[in-house]
Amino acid sequence: MVWRGFPRTAQEFDAAFGNEATCRRLLVELRWAGTPVCIRCGSDRTWELGSGRFECCSCGCQMSVTSGTPLHGTRKPLRLWFRAIWEMCARKNGISAKDLQRILGFGSYETAWVWMQKLRRCMVRHDRLPLEGNVVVDDAYFGAPSDRPGRPAEQKAPIFVAAEEDGRIRLEHAPDLSVGSVRSFVERNTAEGSHITTDGYGTYNGSSIRRREHRKIIVKRLPRGASDPIQRAHHPISLAKRNWLGTYHGAVSRKHLQAYLDEFEFRYNRRRTEGVGRIVARVLEVLVRSHPITYTTITRSTPHPRFETT
């Protein structure tokens, strides 16, 4: 695996990927296991041009190592993209687009923002496994403080969180807290046969937590001093809110909230990983296997991309 020998510190990273050739070689290894494959006909008979592109010997198609990926058509050096990924992964609380703009010397804030939105979409592995075993499911709200008692005002964004015993989590921006939304979240993020623990909210019931053993706990009825059985879900939500306020100052729209939750989830699930380089390598692995992401795709994205609309 490439990540095993990946640079662990910023100094090692700069030394390893200080030029385009080394960056290109790594992407070729990650994407094609070292042997470029034509994106048009699938032939592995290609040869490298002086420009660094590859030409297929079978159909004549010319391509770069970034063709058909989120970096498709980029005019910026690969080492700059590598540096952006490092900056996003190395910081415990993430980095704002404004700070990335300053560090990389971009002429506009929009460029840094689009880059980060593309990379956030490469922080979700397509083949990731659902949570298993004893899983805690809870909900929360992101938004401005409310002086109304009970459930927060409508301007707040509802969030579902699921937390596994070994520490993995899932965070998703939900359209609402209805039975259908709970069912969609649970079915997609937890394995059948898992044991689900929730609080006493009404939509956590047999209709939403189906085919799974369900334990409902009324937290307010617990004796004084008893441990919080939902704490496993409360902890990442609390950290996510601090990150949201501290790094982005609460300036995250509902349309793009899921992408920011994905970034937080990615770092949280790898908080015990030794060496930032391994985390960077994971992002690169997903990047070379992902489809192109355009500015139009980003700006037209829906607030709840993973929930059923019917």
* Residue-wise pLDDT tens digits, 7-54: 888 899 999 999 999 999 999 999 999 999 999 999 999 999 999 999
Identify whether residues 3 and 115 lie together within a single domain.
Answer: yes
The answer to whether residue 126 is domain-embedded is no
Give the Cα separation of 217 and 250 in Å (integer): 31
The answer to whether residue 48 is domain-embedded is yes
Q: What's the mean pLDDT in 294-302?
A: 91
Q: What's the mean pLDDT in 49-65?
A: 95
Identify whether residues 188 and 142 lie together within a single domain.
Answer: yes
pLDDT at 75 over 70: yes
Give the Cα separation of 29 and 22 in Å (integer): 11
The pair of three-digit structure tokens given for residue 64, joined into one six-digit string: 């770069």
Identify whether residues 24 and 112 lie together within a single domain.
Answer: yes
Identify whether residues 188 and 289 lie together within a single domain.
Answer: no
Give the Cα separation of 163 and 28 in Å (integer): 35
CATH number for the domain spanning 203: value is: 3.30.420.10
Identify whether residues 190 and 291 lie together within a single domain.
Answer: no
How far from chain centre, in Å, is Cα 76? Answer: 23
Q: What is the pLDDT of residue 192?
A: 93
Identify whether residues 109 and 144 lie together within a single domain.
Answer: no
Identify whether residues 108 and 5 lie together within a single domain.
Answer: yes
Question: How many C-beta atoms surround the C-beta of residue 109 within 10 A?
Answer: 14
- Ramachandran region, residue 211 (left: φ > 0; alpha: ψ -120 to 50; beta: rest): left
The answer to whether residue 255 is domain-embedded is no
> Which pTM does this prediction carry?
0.92
Identify whether residues 110 and 170 lie together within a single domain.
Answer: no
The answer to whether residue 192 is domain-embedded is yes
pLDDT at 310 over 50: no
Q: Give the tens place of pLDDT for each residue, 126-145.
A: 889 999 999 999 999 987 65
Q: Give the tens place of pLDDT for each residue, 154-184.
A: 678 999 999 999 889 999 999 999 999 999 9
Q: Are 280 and 86 in contact (CB under 8 A)?
A: yes
The answer to whether residue 209 is domain-embedded is yes
Question: How many C-beta atoms surround the C-beta of residue 137 within 10 A?
Answer: 27
Q: Give the tens place of pLDDT for each residue, 82-106.
A: 999 999 999 989 999 999 999 999 9
Identify whether residues 310 and 290 lie together within a single domain.
Answer: yes
The answer to whether residue 152 is domain-embedded is yes
pLDDT at 309 over 50: no
Total structural domains within the chain:
3
pLDDT grade for 227, boundaries at 50, 70 and 90? confident
pLDDT at 225 over 80: no
Residue ranges making up the domain that contains 4: 1-31+72-120+273-310
* Mean confidence (pLDDT) of the chain: 91
pLDDT at 125 over 70: yes
Question: How many C-beta atoms surround the C-beta of residue 226 within 10 A?
Answer: 9
Name the residue with tokens 């540096």: 83
Question: How many C-beta atoms surround the C-beta of residue 193 within 10 A?
Answer: 10
Identify whether residues 48 and 25 lie together within a single domain.
Answer: no
Identify whether residues 171 and 94 lie together within a single domain.
Answer: no
Q: Give the tens place of pLDDT for each residue, 244-291.
A: 999 998 888 899 999 999 999 999 999 998 888 899 999 999 999 999
Question: How many C-beta atoms surround the C-beta of residue 265 within 10 A?
Answer: 20
The answer to whether residue 144 is domain-embedded is yes
Give the Cα separation of 128 and 176 in Å (integer): 25
Identify whether residues 193 and 154 lie together within a single domain.
Answer: yes
The answer to whether residue 99 is domain-embedded is yes
